[in-house]
Amino acid sequence: MVESPPTPPISTFVVRIWHEWSAEGSRWRGRIEHLQSGESAAFLDLEVALAFIRRFTALPDQAGQPAKKNG
């Protein structure tokens, strides 16, 4: 009998992005939350948000290698 591959766990993220103005100029900011764990992180660029997502998924890193999952 052929076994089907295990179903990957679901990861749900909420991403909030907003534009800020200050004396130094304007910039985009964001906050991302992984709903299953409750962990969240603030970010100023998308690479930080992607690194956060990689912690919980098999999303490839910049070198194209699958990310290693925590624990």
Say what the pLDDT of residue 71 is: 45
Distances, alpha carbon 7 to alpha carbons 29, 30, 54, 71, in Å:
34, 30, 18, 18
Would residue 70 count as lying in a domain? Answer: no
pLDDT of residue 10: 83
Which residues in the chain come in under a pLDDT of 70?
1-8, 59-71
With respect to residue 8, please indicate whether it lies within any of the assigned structural domains. no
- Is 49 a member of any domain? yes
Q: Is residue 39 part of a domain?
A: yes
Q: Does the residue 41 lie in any domain?
A: yes
pTM: 0.68
Q: Please check whether residue 59 lies inside any domain of the structure.
A: no
Q: Is position 63 within any domain?
A: no
Helix count and strand count (H, E) for the chain: 1, 3
Where in the sequence is the domain holding 18, given as residue range(s)? 13-54
